[in-house]
Chains A and B, each alone.
Chain A
Amino acid sequence: MSTSTTTKNASPGLVQRLTKNWFYLTLVGIAVVSLVRIVTDTNDLDSAGTLRAAIISTCPILMAALGGLWAERAGVVNIGLEGQMILGTWGAAFFTYHYGPWVGILGAALLGMIGGLLHAVATVTFGVDHIVSGVAINLIGAGAATYLAEAVFSDYEGGGPRQLIGLDPPTIITKTPVISEAALDLADKHWFFVSDVASVVAALTTNISTLTFIIFGLVVASAWILWRTSFGLRLRSCGENPQAAETLGVNVYLYKYIAVLVSGALAGIGGGFLALVSSSGYGAGQTGGRGYIGLAAMIFGNWRPGGLLMGALTFGYTDSLRLRDTDAVHALLLLVALALLLIAALRAVRGQINGAIVMGVAGALVLAWFLLTDSVPREFTVMTPYVTTLFVLALGAQRLRMPAADGQQYRKGSAG
């Protein structure tokens, strides 16, 4: 009947395309890192120790980002992730003290979910502005945790008004037979590529918390649920066009509630990880703004699981690097420079000349910085994680596209 010129999907952002070909990306990535390691002679750049630390600092951010993803895909901006995380740290400590670490994790999720419930009631039922409610939750979360810690933990063994230490962590895999040793040996040889792969294997098999695997599993599960099931489709439709969803018989309020509750629970688990795995107990102010960083990772990850995973990993890695070895931060400059030049080349191939030039110039500048200096000033190393994450994600993601009705007020019966 018609002679319309149908057009295909827009070419997805770089982050998306690369995360789709994640296998090749990983291979190239390892090769580049390996090269930089050998050229700069900083073996700590990807030693098993560095990687283990990186994974530990990634997990909480990843959970916050994933929580943000759930809420925002259903159209609710959840800036209260930080508060929900704080509640999670307290919940983990309290329940672990009484019932052991696994119940502790569930407790963390429960407390985070309570934060999520508050947010859902405020934003979905009463139509409070999402940011206002989120900020309130952060204040309430911090306040409640402080109060509860003082009231409850003071009398506990190992406890005080601002902390509760000496808690059991969830099961740790200390050594995997054969593999751990072999991998560590190989990594110590410092060969090109092979040793780097061995480092990764060693990090994943030695002294690693089972909770880490669960957390990565949750990312995969979320991606599957949100994009491959009808439940996920309905949830996402609430974030794209709730009026349209309503006219098709979707109970928009219900899906928004579910999403925000899950969001809170995930942030809570992130808090639980901080209390039980990153350290061995509750401490006031433990989250240190990781909820916000998670939110940023999600935004620059283009509201997609692959993107936010990349954001969280970048942040976690650079954060652990700066703590372990400041020399490695200098080597990192070379890594960033190479990454930028690679992106520049990619853009040039795709005919995006302007983008290629910007990227190329940035890459050249960072490269010059690396070549002309021997170390990075101390003040700067503190901000490396933030700067690098911003750099990688902001430049990698081309067209950020948030859910169309994200953060908007929705009332039933407004369709048509």
Chain B
Amino acid sequence: MPSEVDAVRLRGIGKRFPGVIANHDVDVTIRSGTVHALIGENGAGKSTLMKILYGVQKPDDGTIEINGNEVVLKSPTDAIDNGVGMVFQHFMLADNLTVLENMVLGAEKLHGIGDNARAEIRRISDRFGFELEPDVLVERLGVAARQRLEIAKVLYRGAKIIILDEPTAVLVPQEVDALFANLRELRSAGNSVLFISHKLDEVLAIADDITVMRRGTTVGTADPKTATKHELAELMVGSELPSPETGESTVTDVVELELHDVTLTDEFGRNLLSDISLAIHRGEILGIAGVEGNGQSELVEAIMGMHIPTSGRITLSGEDVTRWHTRKLREAGIGYIPEDRHRHGLLLDSPLWENRILGHQTEAPNVKGPWINRSGARKDTTRIVEEYDVRAPGIDTLARALSGGNQQKLIVGREMSGDPKLLIASHPTRGVDVGAQAAIWGHIKRARKAGLAVLLISADLDELIGLSDTIQVILRGRFVGTFEPSTVTPQDLGAAMTGGQTV
């Protein structure tokens, strides 16, 4: 029930960083008891605004009102005291602590740090279907489990105003549905939710109000009851809504990557991957569908040489590479877009051009003999920044200062350079706006035409169906079904992913 007083009123918010105006003259009002969606292109200033509302960063101008009272938020503690909770765009978890420890940190007063807290976590986990084990190290969790943990952290604290910065980027539709059911429940209990997403279907499905941001400021609002996806896309990036369709097949009969009965066991002898066999030809995109945590990460890590398979064989261009080191595999022409860009893809405190070298530190144009080729790397970084539309003040900017979507574009650009033979892409368009998504799809399609083989893992079923030549469904470390993208529907895939149906 929306009450008289607005939950949040932001008036004239401004925030400047060196070389960038992240926010200016931002006005947003969140009615209490509603879900309010905030959309906008990459770098529009959404996350910055949310960090201001959560007290992480101080605004240069403007006022913040929470429940009708003007507040000054000096630190997240102040925001928490005002009933605000936030799920950040990038995970805020300590790998070496357990789920329980991450959960209770800062909120120890609520249920202690022992068995009471454990019981409460179990309760939240059961209620929302999160499947969280309190005593597992977070290091062991995949991206979707981490995402669920982040959401659970906010629920645990009982926040009244909940900020969710792209919480669905790595969740599959069923998980998104479950999350939305929770959000509706929270809404009817009188809480307010601020929701950021680049997936416009989701926005239309859940939001009561929509605010659009562009170039640091609010440019309009839309009514989810009447607006269409196309109108939203227009408002956001001023362009047409893209579709991932690949057009005619470019699959050749030369096999690029082949896995023969690859099995991977953990230290307790359990199978993480069981008898995985696949073949990807030049010019082919093989899509892997599955609820995250069913062996996708392990499959990628086995191919990338981060885990040596317990049994089975991997060949690249006909050569046995089962026991090759990651370095050698990359030099042999594998591009790799990791699932978690902050953990595996970037050095946040290094400039963009150094990040360009990362993972390609033995290849032209980054090196000349044993030396780093500074000017070569810098020039190529400038090329990536232009071709992939990475919005940054310059190539000496630290990676940390880029918006999430722009970090992703930089990684994609880096991994596509040097004409790889094979691209391993985990959620390649995670967190990028609809315009940039189209551009990335375009790059992948063009490379595919030129003979690139791609292993595509994505939680976005439309992307998977649109781009792939074949789709394999993975469940508990096994392939449980092969689908033809031209005939399969997202519903079929969804059912197969949860074990509802095998083909």
Chain A partners chain B? yes
User: CB distance B93 to A416 under 8 Å?
Assistant: no
Given A4-B294, A5-B293, A230-B108: A249 and B77 within 8 A (CB)? yes
Binary interface encoding of chain A residues 229-260 relative to chain B, with 1 for a CB under 8 A from any of its CBs, else 0: 11001101100110111111111000000000
User: In this assembly, does A178 line the interface, its C-beta being within 8 Å of a C-beta of chain B?
Assistant: no
User: CB distance B107 to A5 under 8 Å?
Assistant: no
Assembly CA distance A233 to B106 (angstroms) = 9
CB distance from B53 to the nearest CB of A (A): 12
User: CB distance B476 to A5 under 8 Å?
Assistant: yes
Could you say which of A10, A240, A413, A415 contacts B94, with CB atoms under 8 Å apart? A240
User: CB distance B108 to A240 under 8 Å?
Assistant: no
Count of A interface residues, CB-CB < 8 Å: 36
User: In this assembly, does B189 line the interface, its C-beta being within 8 Å of a C-beta of chain A?
Assistant: no
User: CB distance A416 to B88 under 8 Å?
Assistant: yes
User: In this assembly, does A186 line the interface, its C-beta being within 8 Å of a C-beta of chain B?
Assistant: no
User: In this assembly, does A223 line the interface, its C-beta being within 8 Å of a C-beta of chain B?
Assistant: no
Assembly CA distance A1 to B175 (angstroms) = 6
Assembly CA distance A249 to B80 (angstroms) = 7
Given A3-B476, A413-B56, A416-B56: A9 and B136 within 8 A (CB)? yes
User: In this assembly, does A414 line the interface, its C-beta being within 8 Å of a C-beta of chain B?
Assistant: yes
User: In this assembly, does A401 line the interface, its C-beta being within 8 Å of a C-beta of chain B?
Assistant: yes
Q: Which of A1, A244, A415 has the most CB of B within 10 A?
A: A1
Stretch at the interface among B97-105, B415-423, B450-458: B97-105
User: CB distance B136 to A8 under 8 Å?
Assistant: yes
Chain B residues near A404: list those with CB within 8 A: 94-96
User: In this assembly, does B291 line the interface, its C-beta being within 8 Å of a C-beta of chain A?
Assistant: yes
| Interface of chain A residues 378 through 416 with chain B (CB within 8 A) | 401, 403-404, 412-416
Stretch at the interface among B1-9, B28-36, B126-134, B361-369: B126-134
CB distance from A341 to the nearest CB of B (A): 24
Assembly CA distance A294 to B325 (angstroms) = 36
Assembly CA distance A9 to B134 (angstroms) = 11
User: In this assembly, does A21 line the interface, its C-beta being within 8 Å of a C-beta of chain B?
Assistant: no
User: CB distance B145 to A233 under 8 Å?
Assistant: no
Binary interface encoding of chain B residues 80-116 relative to chain A, with 1 for a CB under 8 A from any of its CBs, else 0: 1000001011101111110001101111110011000
Assembly CA distance A7 to B178 (angstroms) = 23
Chain A residues near B270: list those with CB within 8 A: 5, 7
For chain B, the bracket of interface size reads 35 or more
User: CB distance B106 to A234 under 8 Å?
Assistant: yes
Assembly CA distance A236 to B94 (angstroms) = 10
User: In this assembly, does A373 line the interface, its C-beta being within 8 Å of a C-beta of chain B?
Assistant: no
Chain B residues near A247: list those with CB within 8 A: 54, 56, 76, 86, 88, 92
CB distance from A290 to the nearest CB of B (A): 29
| Interface of chain B residues 46 through 102 with chain A (CB within 8 A) | 47, 51, 54, 56-58, 75-77, 80, 86, 88-90, 92-97, 101-102
CB distance from B43 to the nearest CB of A (A): 14
User: CB distance A3 to B475 under 8 Å?
Assistant: yes
Chain A residues near B129: list those with CB within 8 A: 1-2
Assembly CA distance A6 to B153 (angstroms) = 19
Chain B residues near A7: list those with CB within 8 A: 136, 140, 266, 268, 270
Assembly CA distance A230 to B107 (angstroms) = 9
Assembly CA distance A262 to B128 (angstroms) = 42
Chain A residues near B105: list those with CB within 8 A: 233-234, 237, 244-245, 248, 250
User: In this assembly, does B124 line the interface, its C-beta being within 8 Å of a C-beta of chain A?
Assistant: no
Given A11-B267, A244-B93, A415-B88: A5 and B272 within 8 A (CB)? yes
CB distance from A7 to the nearest CB of B (A): 5
User: In this assembly, does B477 line the interface, its C-beta being within 8 Å of a C-beta of chain A?
Assistant: yes
Assembly CA distance A9 to B112 (angstroms) = 22
Could you say which of A6, A236, A241 contacts B92, with CB atoms under 8 Å apart? A241
Chain B residues near A234: list those with CB within 8 A: 105-106, 108
User: CB distance A416 to B96 under 8 Å?
Assistant: no
Q: Which of B56, B86, B90, B109 has the most CB of A within 10 A?
A: B56
Assembly CA distance A248 to B102 (angstroms) = 10
User: In this assembly, does B244 line the interface, its C-beta being within 8 Å of a C-beta of chain A?
Assistant: no
Given A7-B140, A230-B108, A245-B105: A415 and B96 within 8 A (CB)? no
User: In this assembly, does B498 line the interface, its C-beta being within 8 Å of a C-beta of chain A?
Assistant: yes
User: CB distance B97 to A237 under 8 Å?
Assistant: yes
User: CB distance B106 to A2 under 8 Å?
Assistant: no
Q: Which residue of B lies closest to A6 (CB)?
A: B133
Given A5-B294, A247-B56, A249-B75: A233 and B108 within 8 A (CB)? yes
CB distance from A315 to the nearest CB of B (A): 27
Q: Which of A2, A9, A412 has the most CB of B within 10 A?
A: A2
User: CB distance B96 to A403 under 8 Å?
Assistant: yes
Assembly CA distance A241 to B96 (angstroms) = 9
User: CB distance B131 to A1 under 8 Å?
Assistant: yes
Q: Which residue of A lies closest to B400 (CB)?
A: A414
Q: Which residue of A lies closest to B95 (CB)?
A: A404
Given A230-B113, A415-B51: A251 and B131 within 8 A (CB)? no
Given A7-B266, A248-B76, A249-B80: A230 and B131 within 8 A (CB)? no
User: CB distance A240 to B95 under 8 Å?
Assistant: yes
Chain B residues near A241: list those with CB within 8 A: 92-95
User: In this assembly, does B144 line the interface, its C-beta being within 8 Å of a C-beta of chain A?
Assistant: yes
Chain A residues near B112: list those with CB within 8 A: 230
Binary interface encoding of chain A residues 174-187 relative to chain B, with 1 for a CB under 8 A from any of its CBs, else 0: 00000000000000
Assembly CA distance A133 to B297 (angstroms) = 41
CB distance from A232 to the nearest CB of B (A): 9
Assembly CA distance A279 to B106 (angstroms) = 45
Chain A residues near B267: list those with CB within 8 A: 10-11
Assembly CA distance A241 to B180 (angstroms) = 29
Chain A residues near B140: list those with CB within 8 A: 6-7, 9-10
User: In this assembly, does B287 line the interface, its C-beta being within 8 Å of a C-beta of chain A?
Assistant: no
Going nearest first, the 8 A-B pairs with the smallest beta carbon separation are A4-B293, A248-B106, A230-B108, A1-B129, A240-B94, A244-B92, A241-B94, A249-B77
A selection of 18 A-B contacts at a CB cut-off of 8 Å is A1-B174, A2-B148, A5-B476, A7-B266, A8-B136, A9-B135, A230-B108, A230-B113, A234-B108, A240-B97, A241-B95, A244-B102, A246-B56, A246-B75, A247-B76, A248-B92, A249-B80, A415-B76
